[in-house]
């Protein structure tokens, strides 16, 4: 499960921000998970809840926004937003598309005390 290593890196990033801002704890962690990020949200949630106990995030609420796939079709010029993991244009069925959003896993907000 690569979600464990992702959560390890996320908690490390939270700790770095806390140290840089003279904080003693993290109270909220908000992330955005793209549907094409390759991350399983339920496993990520479980991993965070498990690993936070040994870190500065032990009391942190964990918020996850699932980012749908946003495609721009290079054939018909339309932009679509979809919760499916398909890079085929829903308008013209072309696979000549560009992913605009939905591939990333990003730390969006962090609340510190």
Report the C-alpha gap between 17 and 112 in whole angstroms: 9
| pLDDT band for position 14 (cuts 50, 70, 90) | very high
Report the half-sphere exposure of 57 (CA within 13 A, side-chain side).
Answer: 24
Residue 78, Cβ neighbours under 10 Å: how many?
14
pLDDT digits (tens, 9 = 90+) for 20-76: 999 999 999 999 999 999 999 999 999 999 999 999 999 999 999 999 999 999 999
CATH number, domain containing residue 70: 3.30.2320.80
Q: Give the mean pLDDT of 4-28.
A: 96
> Binding residue per annotation — 57?
no
* Residue 91, domain extent: 2-112
73 annotated binding-site participant: yes
Q: How many domains are contained in the chain?
A: 1
Q: Is 89 annotated as a binding residue?
A: yes
């Amino acid at each position: 499960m690569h979600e464990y290593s992702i959560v390890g890196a996320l908690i490390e990033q939270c700790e770095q921000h806390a140290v840089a801002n003279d904080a003693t704890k993290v109270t909220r962690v908000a992330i955005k998970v793209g549907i094409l990020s390759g991350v399983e949200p339920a496993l990520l949630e479980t991993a965070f809840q498990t690993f936070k106990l040994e870190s500065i995030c032990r009391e942190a609420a964990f918020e996850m926004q699932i980012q749908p796939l946003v495609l721009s079709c290079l054939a018909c010029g339309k932009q679509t937003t979809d919760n499916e993991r398909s890079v085929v244009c829903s308008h013209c069925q072309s696979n000549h598309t560009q992913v605009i959003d939905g591939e990333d896993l990003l730390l969006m907000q962090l609340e510190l005390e």
